[in-house]
Amino acid sequence: MKYINIIKISVLFFILVSFNGCKDEDISLTKSPYYGADLKIDGYYYVQDVEQNFTNVFFLYRDGIILHTYGYSSLDLNIVEQEIIERYSIIKDTKDCWGVFIITGNAIEYEKWGPSVGGGLPTYKCIGEILNDTTFIITESVEDNKTSYKDPIDVYHYKHFLPKLDSTNIWIK
């Protein structure tokens, strides 16, 4: 009898913990319009990994929203742009593509949802430095309030791209 009660309590505890872990984390940065000229925003920013033949793309918007269109298996930006357009109908409805960015002086910080690993969507922050109006570097990533890494990690370059994708989404108001 005691053994059955222990099992019931254990199962109940597991269910409660599982449901609690399914809630998406909240983005802690406050969305605010970006009126500056520190970075151009009539296009996208990309980072490429030549060894992996991979391009990662972010859009920054005047309303303070960042859109991560994820990565592409190509270094050819013409191919990447075509895939961005083809994937946008899926990307716009995917919560972990969206986040918020803030620019203060020559510092950039963004926070977005990351992919889930069986629970709710976690958030992570990236912090970096603006080198000029077409280039910024990410120097640190923070996940679970712990710095994941420091040093120049990724160097993002600007590419003009119009018409720009819409920043309207249901997750960030």
Name the pLDDT band for 13 (thresholds 50, 70, 90): very low
Name the pLDDT band for 18 (thresholds 50, 70, 90): very low
Tokens coding 150: 């420091």
Tokens coding 44: 């996208």
Query: In angstroms, rounded to a whole number, what is the distance separating the alpha carbons of residues 127 and 143?
Result: 11
Give the range among 18-32, 58-72, 90-104 with minimum mean pLDDT: 18-32
Q: In Å, how far from its chain's centre is CA 71? A: 12
CB atoms within 10 A of CB 65: 22
Say what percent of the chain tops pLDDT 70.
Answer: 83
User: Each residue of 106-130: pLDDT tens digit?
Assistant: 999 999 988 777 778 888 899 999 9
* Separation in Å, CA 21 to CA 14, 30, 137, 158: 10, 24, 33, 37
Tokens coding 171: 């997750």
Average pLDDT over residues 160-164: 91
Phi, psi (degrees; rounded to nearest 5) at 83:
-70, -35
Query: In angstroms, rounded to a whole number, what is the distance separating the alpha carbons of residues 156 and 47?
Result: 5
Confidence check: pLDDT of 21 > 70: no
Query: In angstroms, rounded to a whole number, what is the distance separating the alpha carbons of residues 40 and 160?
Result: 9
